[in-house]
Chain A
Amino acid sequence: MDLSRFAFARPHVLLIEAPGGTGARLALERVLRERGCPLADSPADADILAVAGGPLEQFADRVWEQLPGPRARFDLSDPEYAAAELDGAAGQLRELSRQRADAASRRPPLLSESDMDMDMPAGLQMADREPDRDGLQLDVLHLPWGPALPWWPAGLVVHSRMQGDVLADAQVSRIGGETPAAGFWLAAADSVGPARAGAAARLDSLTRLLAVAGWEAERLRAQRIRDDLLSAEPPAQTHQALRRLHRRVGRSSTLARMCAGVAGNGGVDVTARYRQWLTDAVAAVDTGADPPAAAPAEDISGLLTELLTGTELSAARLLVASLDPWLSGALVSGGRRV
């Protein structure tokens, strides 16, 4: 048996969404789920870098440099070709000469010893020190989050000053427009009807939240139901599966406790937000009408900046995920609700 075929039967894929790549991401997530290919959390765990809606230029290149190799990458703009592109990339992983040439052309990240000095060891900027939220001196690190980050709204960039795992402050910027996913969900509403599209949009945001909250099983189930809702002929058991999801996730006291009190805004926290998505998704499918979704604020980027400051990393990720429908534009589009 060909060993590399065996080893790379389920390549790990780092899937990143560029603005406007919602359709491509959904198609890829579906293929990967059906083939049992794990989605990588970081470049170190990835064999293939897939940019949905690509090419995301220098951001994706920075990530690409960090893939260990054997490695392959592709940008997908047409959802039709998701399976074909993935096959092609998996094939490249097994091309020995190609991978050898790639490995030989790479430089190690370590700079030479002459770059060593007290202020810049290995050419790296030393961390500054500033008072933290308790008034103690603590290292400050400048870290950007996004846009090339899995489970992250397309085109969102958060420049943070990190002290330990706390975002001491955050600056939010966007690339590729304010509501990059709105077009996709409008088209989906035209093809499968507003009710199913509305429910699927909410489930899509839920999958990201579940991924960040570390609940893989329910994330996979939510993806399945979302994909079924968007298919031409949803299987008969889709409604029942959605109701089961609502029961298990909506009533999970553990998840509720992990998300409670995170990013409260007018009494609405992360828990309240995802419960509302589930309730709305079930209502949409039951009644055949897309229930209205009120945005938490006029200026969603402004709200994000305000809420992010002073949060701990995992709370920050939950917060971003809970604002996903409005950051991506899945539930708002130029005044017209999808």
Chain B
Amino acid sequence: MSDGLLLWGALLLPFGLLLVAAAAASMSAALGDAAAGRPVTGLTLVQPVQEAARLLVVRRRRTVHPDALLWRVGGGTLFLTAVLAAAVVPIGQTPVVRSEVGVVWFNAAETLLWAALWLTGWGANSALGLVGGYRFLAQALAYELPMMLALITAALGAGSLDVVQVAAAQDGLWFVVWMPVAFAVFLIAALGFSFWGPFSHPVGADAAGGVLAELSGVDRLVVLIGRYAWLAAAAGMSVPLFLGGGAGPLLPSWLWWLAKTLAVLALLVWARWRWPVVRVDRFEEIAWVVLLPAVLLQTLVVSLVVI
């Protein structure tokens, strides 16, 4: 199994990721309209496009004495790292980049979010942005270790860090069946690093939008697209890790992968409307006292089974 890069795949990947990300935004818009008691129509589903058009028209803002370079770099890093992470996800059988350490690669791309979010909060030179940035760092401190262990657990079950091998190892029995804790922790972490729904404290309304507080126009659009792209990348990655990859009867494997990805994505989007925001200071305790020991136990069980 050699490392390899699919050239046309690399060109198409950002657009594919955008499409799945837009699907996530549409689903969220539909749930929002339903909660507001408005009929969900075709117009609801194009809302993300409408919102993108609005943000392209709206002017960019300048704050007093910003760190403009780091501010923009932070925002742009979000989508860039999401594409990098999605590159190792096998779409059906084949990823854009086949790597023997794909699982670690995904994790490495995710850790760049620590910098991306904090810089976006810092760059504006605003107290609210900075509060949001620090909230994200605290949140990352809580979800990162449990997530690493969840990733390692799946890799351990397959005996490989290659995402394709991990998917192939689930022939007959999906990892989610005997690693439910690792799967749940991965989903919680996905909400965490996408600062989405229950874990959107870094952009919370109580801090007037936190990291997003000073962003307008295209700068805001870039960050929001990056966020949806990460949700999509996380959903896409959960399929080869825990849900058997592209395996399934009749349909081609890429279609199975897509169907499973959209299902997980719907679950992640729904979480936003289902739960209130989990404040970072309280999540810290839950993560270290409950999640970490639980996922450690999961890793131990999987290790014993593998031996």
CA distance A252 to B277 in the complex (A): 12
Interchain CB contact under 8 A, B59 and A68: yes
**What 0/1 readout, one digit per residue, does chain A (221-249) give for beta carbons within 8 Å of chain B?**
10010000000000000000000000000
Binary per-residue interface labels of chain A (197-221) against chain B in the complex, 1 for a CB within 8 Å, 0 otherwise: 0000000000000111111111011
Q: Does B57 contact A (CB under 8 A)?
A: yes
List the 10 closest A-B pairs by CB distance, nearest first: A214-B277, A215-B276, A122-B65, A68-B216, A7-B53, A217-B273, A41-B209, A317-B206, A217-B35, A42-B208
The 8 Å CB contact of B38, one of A34, A210, A314, is A34
| Contact among B31, B127, B134 with A217 in the assembled complex (CB-CB below 8 Å) | B31
Chain B, range 252-307, C-beta contacts under 8 Å to A: 272-279, 281-282
Cβ B31 vs Cβ A103 within 8 A: no
CB 8 Å contact bits of B164-179 with A (1 = contact, 0 = none): 0000000000000000
Having A108-B62, A110-B65, A217-B35, one finds 15 other A-B pairs with CB under 8 Å, namely A3-B53, A7-B57, A10-B47, A10-B50, A33-B37, A36-B36, A44-B212, A44-B215, A68-B58, A109-B64, A110-B62, A149-B208, A150-B205, A164-B134, A218-B35
Query: Is A336 at the interface (CB under 8 A from chain B)?
Result: no
Whether A307 is near chain B, meaning CB under 8 Å from some CB there, is: no
* Interface stretch of the complex, out of B92-100, B108-116, B196-204: B196-204
Kindly state the interface size class of chain A when it binds its partner: 35 or more
A313, B200: Cβ atoms under 8 Å? no
Q: Is the C-beta of B149 less than 8 angstroms from some C-beta in chain A? A: no
Which single member of A42, A210, A313 contacts B276 (CB below 8 Å)?
A210
**Cβ-based interface call for A124 (8 A):** yes
Is B64 a contact of A220 with CB atoms below 8 Å?
A: no
A12: chain B residues at CB < 8 Å are: 54
B65 adjacent to A214 (CB under 8 Å): no
Find chain B residues with CB under 8 A from A164 CB. 131, 134
| Cα distance A98–B214 in the bound complex, in angstroms | 24
Q: Within the complex, which residue of B36, B50, B279 is in contact with A258, where a contact is CB–CB below 8 Å?
A: B279
A window 44-67: CB within 8 A of B? 44-45, 47, 66
Residue from the set B216, B276, B277 with the largest chain A CB neighbour count within 10 Å = B276
The answer to the question of A187 belonging to the interface, with a C-beta cut-off of 8 Å to chain B, is: no
Q: Does B56 contact A (CB under 8 A)?
A: yes
Type the 1/0 row for B40-67, where 1 means its CB is closer than 8 Å to any CB of A: 0000100100110110111111111100
Partner of A220, one of B37, B57, B216, B277: B37
Known: A45-B220, A214-B200, A216-B273. A143 touches B61 (CB 8 A): no
DSSP majority for the B interface? helix
Max count, chain A CB within 10 A of own CB: residue among B198, B201, B205, B220: B205
A38 to B204, CA, bound (A): 15
B277 touches A36 (CB 8 A): no
Q: Which residues of A contact B60 (CB under 8 A)?
A: 68
Q: Which of B58, B128, B214 contacts A47 (CB 8 A)?
A: B58
Q: In the bound complex, how far is the Cα of B34 from the Cα of A224, in angstroms? A: 12
- Distance, CA A258 to CA B127, complexed state (A): 23
Q: Known contacts A33-B37, A124-B64, A211-B205; is A42 also within 8 Å of B47 by CB?
A: no
Docked Cα-Cα span, A111 to B62, in Å, equals 12
Q: Which residues of B contact A258 (CB under 8 A)?
A: 276-279, 282
Contact B65 A221 (CB under 8 A): no
Hey, which chain B residues are within 8 Å of A318, CB to CB?
206
Output the least CB separation between B181 and chain A (Å). Answer: 19
B216 to chain A, nearest CB (A): 4
Chain A residue at smallest Cβ distance from B274: A217
Q: Does B76 contact A (CB under 8 A)?
A: no
**A254-B275, A313-B206 known; A6-B50 Cβ under 8 A:** yes
A211 to B200, CA, bound (A): 13
Instruction: For the complex formed, measure the closest distance between the CB of B217 and the CB atoms of chain A, giving whole angstroms.
Output: 6
Interface residues of A in 4-39 (CB under 8 A from B): 4, 6-12, 33-34, 36
CA–CA, A212 and B200, complex, Å:
12
Residue in contact with A7 in the complex, picked from B54, B201, B212, B281, CB distance below 8 Å = B54
Residue in A68, A111, A224, A313 whose beta carbon sits within 8 Å of that of B207 in the complex: A313
With A41-B205, A211-B205 known as contacts, the answer to whether A314 contacts B279 (CB < 8 A) is: yes
Whole-angstrom CA separation of A237 from B298 in the bound complex: 46
Are A36 and B37 interface neighbours, CB within 8 A? no
- Kindly list chain B residues whose C-beta atoms are within 8 Å of the C-beta of A42: 128, 208-209, 212-214
Q: Contacts of B57 on A, CB cut-off 8 Å?
A: 3-4, 7-8, 70
Contacts of A317 in B (CB 8 A): 206
Chain B residues within an 8 Å CB radius of A149:
208
Measured between alpha carbons, how far is A80 from B286 in the docked complex, in Å?
48
- Chain A's closest residue to B214 (CB) is A44
Q: Residue on A with the closest CB to B33?
A: A36
Q: Which residues on the B side are within 8 Å of A214 (C-beta)?
A: 200-201, 204-206, 276-277
Given known contacts A3-B53, A217-B31, is B209 in contact with A45 (CB within 8 Å)?
yes
Please name 10 pairs of A and B residues whose Cβ atoms are closer than 8 Å in the assembled complex, sorted by A: A3-B53, A10-B50, A44-B209, A68-B61, A110-B65, A150-B208, A214-B205, A216-B272, A252-B275, A258-B278
Among A121, A211, A257, which residue has the most Cβ atoms of chain B within 10 A?
A257
B32 contacts partner chain A, Cβ-Cβ < 8 Å: yes
Q: Which residues on A sit within 8 Å (CB–CB) of B205? A: 41, 150-151, 211-212, 214
- Cα of A211 to Cα of B206 in the assembled complex, Å: 8
CB-CB under 8 A from A7, the residues of chain B are 50, 53-54, 56-57
Q: How far is the CB of B197 from chain A (nearest CB, A)?
A: 9
